[in-house]
Amino acid sequence: MARGELRIYLGAAPGVGKTYAMLEEAQRRAGRGTDVVIGLVETHGRAHTAAMIGDLEVVPRRSAEMDLDALLARRPEVAVVDELAHTNLPGSRNEKRWQDIGSLLDAGISVLTTVNVQHLESLNDVVARITGVPQRETVPDEVVRAAEQVELVDMTPEALRRRLAHGNVYGPEQVDAALGNWFRAGNLTALRELALLWMAGRVDAQLDRYRADHGIDAGWETRERVVVALNGGPEGDTLIRRAARIAARSRGAALMAVHITRNDGPAGANPADLARQRVLTESLGGSFHQVSGTDVRRALLEFAQGVNATQIVLGGASRWVRLAELISAESTIDVHLVSAGPGAGRREARLPPALSRGRRAAGFAAALAGLPLLTAVLAAVEPPLVNDILLMLAAVVGVALAGGLWPALLAAVAGFLLLNWFFIPPYGRLTIAEGQNLLALAIFVVVAVAVSWVVDIAARRTRQAARASAEAQTLATVAGGVLRGQRPLLALLDRLRETFALDAVLLLERGTVVAEVGTPGSAAGDQVTIDDDLVMRLRGHTLEASDRRIVEAFAAQAAVALRQERLAAEAASAKPLAEADRLRTALLAAVSHDLRTPLASAKASVASLRSADVEFGDDDRAELLATADESLDRLARLVSNLLDMSRLQAGVLGMTAVEVGAEDVVPRALEDLGHQGRHVAVRVPDDLPLLHADPGLLERVLVNLVANALRHSPAGRPPMITGSGHGDVVELRVVDHGPGIPADRWDDVFLPFQRLGDRDNDTGVGLGLALSRGLTEAMGGTLTPEETPGGGLTMVLTLPASTS
């Protein structure tokens, strides 16, 4: 059985028209004779959306959720299932709706569905930073990327805000709060950009897959992609900045820096320069890549073609000129040759000596002493000439193994002369009578030199590999130690001090010490310049020249660690300000409606009583006065909550803890709730220990908890307050039998301005539980939710018991 196809309508925010577009497609398919059934559609009270359902068959819901079993039994060709990221109620077959859709697809049923960009898992943290609201319902990106079709339903922020203001998205009572919170123009613009970029990434992936499937190697300039080639020298900074300026000329262009490492020879790149250039590239919005290859030019060209580059920026050195000619000949990529200034460019790394000075001296000694000795032995034995040449060649190879290239070359020349003088007629002269002897000596010299050269190169490569391995191991150890530390900068400097047996390591910025490890006042050593502002000083002893490369890598990473620590400190200091700003914004958005409602009610009652046009009876007058009184009480509670929340946020809430009995506080709290409080059942034992709490704050907490329980309790099942003592704490429980809240959403109810489960949005600003937890913690207690047996929510208020 073939798997069904998934089509997703992606939007930047609620109200852009995803569900409407999905239903339009469903109607089109039904008009073509396709069997289309609606599994679940959320109209959110929007008349135009509801009208679009038309005469499409709708599968009835089960317990407010989509009836998956009925839909599978019906087996339509296409199922319409709204809200891909929705979390199902407990007891459903699957936890998430996207899992329900997976079951439909596996059954061969194609699905039309919708999702907003804020529900994509990869963008969850980004959306939270933009809007200040974390998203609890997410869908894995791979689910959306696996869809056969993803259609973006786009709308400008201005048009969406107009739709909202006209009541086409939410009801009138929610418009003011929505416009001032989630639907701010800046939020919508950022969310729209996220949706467009996500779709652009999907389109890029589809294009790459198409080119690969059809064997298309030539670049398609659908978007500017600028590649800058780095050779590991200081001039790379100039090239990166120039490439960034080129990329900035085209909106949306990508900047990629790449360093090609030879895998058949010495790298020669400066690790400190590369580390600095990585940071520079990323700070300019680009990405840094490191590729290895035997042929640098070919590797760079293949990289550029692989990322569909449109432009390459190269240095002006002669080797890059040859590369530019290669790229121009084999691709359509534009090439920019940039001069980094006089003297710029990295010199090719000189090969280090293959062997130590002692071994080279031993090689020379073996050549000067060993060859004459071998000649004396051969002259006494008088073997054939071929054997003389082979034995002399073996001696040259031995000298090469012992002392390297130059002693071996000396041995080859000496061997040539000794063979010619002692073993080739005419003897005792440097002339050769027969041509075959000349050929033999020539082959001897060529083979001796070639073998000596190979042995020397092998020794050099062995030494380089050993050193590279030691450096890699050192850097890996450093990285592990730094990652495990809480202070990466100090950990990095301390590891540098230990690695090179230094007394102290200092990091200076414009002459001022910003970090230091080791013994102060130690003897001066080396100094490494990181950039124009940062310098690292090493105290204890002078480093060997071969160690400076790895020390420069340490220095570059120290600069990065310093910047990261400062960014982390700035972020930590900005977090309270951002939270206060978010709270202030949410406060203004919420109170714009919730302050207006009781004020308008009280004003209308008072205005009616003052009116001379209507005569009110005693009952009507009493009802109007009661309405005004209730509205003003509600307004007073709201203002008190706002003021207390502000004091909690500022840390200036006054609190005086004394001995107080629950039997005294609970009745006052219920009395504050008016006639609704009379329906609450109270089961507080007479012998309950006294609490150590502030009576006024405790009363406020109970009022908020009971009011919340009353709001969610079904008719005929009022909430209940119970009390119990447990050692040095006292628990007061506010129990309701309402719809309850899933356990994974319990923490959400304590966020300011959250009205989880409230669909009318006219019952307060969502501060009650957040304030209650804050007041409880200020008194040294805790407030936690529990599930009520049989359904509902129980709020457990735990406070210290009096010790006297």
Q: Quickly list DSSP for 120-176.
A: BGGGHHHHHHHHS---S--B-HHHHHTSSEEEEE---HHHHHHHHHTTSSS-HHHHH
The token pair at 233 is: 């020298």
The C-alpha atoms of residue 488 and residue 597 are separated, in whole angstroms, by 54
766-781 residues labelled b (16+ CB within 10 A) or e (exposed):
bbbbbbbbbbbebbeb
Of the two residues 401 and 148, the one the predictor is more confident about is 148
Q: How confident is the model at residue 353 (pLDDT cuts 50, 70, 90)?
A: low
Which distant-in-sequence residues (6+ apart) come within 8 Å of 680 by Cβ?
670, 673, 706, 709, 710, 718, 719, 720, 721
* Half-sphere exposure at residue 435, Cβ-oriented, CA atoms within 13 angstroms: 0
**pLDDT, tens digit, for every residue of 23-50?**
999 999 999 999 999 999 999 888 899 9
The C-alpha atoms of residue 503 and residue 219 are separated, in whole angstroms, by 55
Q: Please provide the average confidence, as pLDDT, over all residues in the chain.
A: 81
> How many residues does the structure list for the chain?
804
Question: pLDDT value at position 763?
Answer: 42
To 5 degrees, how large is the angle CA 405–CA 407–CA 413? 100
The C-alpha atoms of residue 133 and residue 127 are separated, in whole angstroms, by 8
Q: For residue 498, what are the CA distances in angstroms to 121, 489, 513?
A: 43, 14, 20
- To the nearest 5 percent, what fractions of the chain are helix, strand and coil? 55, 15, 30
Average pLDDT over residues 673-693: 88
**pLDDT, tens digit, for every residue of 725-740?**
988 999 999 999 988 8
Task: Count the neighbouring beta carbons within 10 Å of the beta carbon of residue 567.
Answer: 10
Of the two residues 665 and 435, the one the predictor is more confident about is 665
The token pair at 192 is: 């729209």
Query: Looking at residue 370, what DSSP letter applies?
Result: I
Of the two residues 436 and 278, the one the predictor is more confident about is 278
Angle of helix 157-165 versus helix 185-213 axis, rounded to 10: 130
**Bridging pattern class, strands 110-116 and 6-11:** parallel
The token pair at 390 is: 């082979």
**299 and 268 in contact (C-beta within 8 Å)?**
no
Question: pLDDT value at position 129?
Answer: 84
**Bridging pattern class, strands 225-230 and 149-153:** unpaired
* CB-count burial class (<10 Å; 0-12, 13-18, 19+) for 486: exposed
Question: pLDDT value at position 765?
Answer: 40
Q: What is the pTM of this model?
A: 0.44
Let me know how many helices (H) and strands (E) the chain has, helices first.
25, 22
The C-alpha atoms of residue 483 and residue 325 are separated, in whole angstroms, by 44
Question: pLDDT value at position 257?
Answer: 93
Token match 């060993």: residue?
370
To 5 degrees, how large is the angle CA 580–CA 581–CA 582? 90
- Percentage of residues of the chain with pLDDT beyond 70: 82
Of the two residues 557 and 32, the one the predictor is more confident about is 32
The C-alpha atoms of residue 767 and residue 591 are separated, in whole angstroms, by 11
Is the pLDDT at 652 greater than 70, yes or no?
no
Is the pLDDT at 22 greater than 80, yes or no?
yes
Closest residue by Cα to residue 766 from 646, 629, 586? 586
Token match 């079904």: residue?
714
Average pLDDT over residues 198-211: 79
Q: For residue 266, what are the CA distances in angstroms to 349, 457, 586?
A: 7, 12, 60
Element (DSSP H or E) covering residue 435:
helix 435-484
Q: Which of 206-215, 483-492, 522-531, 626-635 has the highest mean pLDDT?
A: 626-635
The C-alpha atoms of residue 635 and residue 632 are separated, in whole angstroms, by 5
28-46 residues labelled b (16+ CB within 10 A) or e (exposed):
ebbeeeeebbbbbbebeeb
Token match 């779709």: residue?
199
Query: Looking at residue 547, what DSSP letter applies?
Result: G
The C-alpha atoms of residue 277 and residue 292 are separated, in whole angstroms, by 18
The C-alpha atoms of residue 320 and residue 328 are separated, in whole angstroms, by 12
Closest residue by Cα to residue 684 from 718, 737, 735, 727? 735
φ, ψ dihedrals at 705, nearest 5°: -65, -45
Is the pLDDT at 120 greater than 80, yes or no?
yes
Average pLDDT over residues 104-114: 96
* Half-sphere exposure at residue 568, Cβ-oriented, CA atoms within 13 angstroms: 10
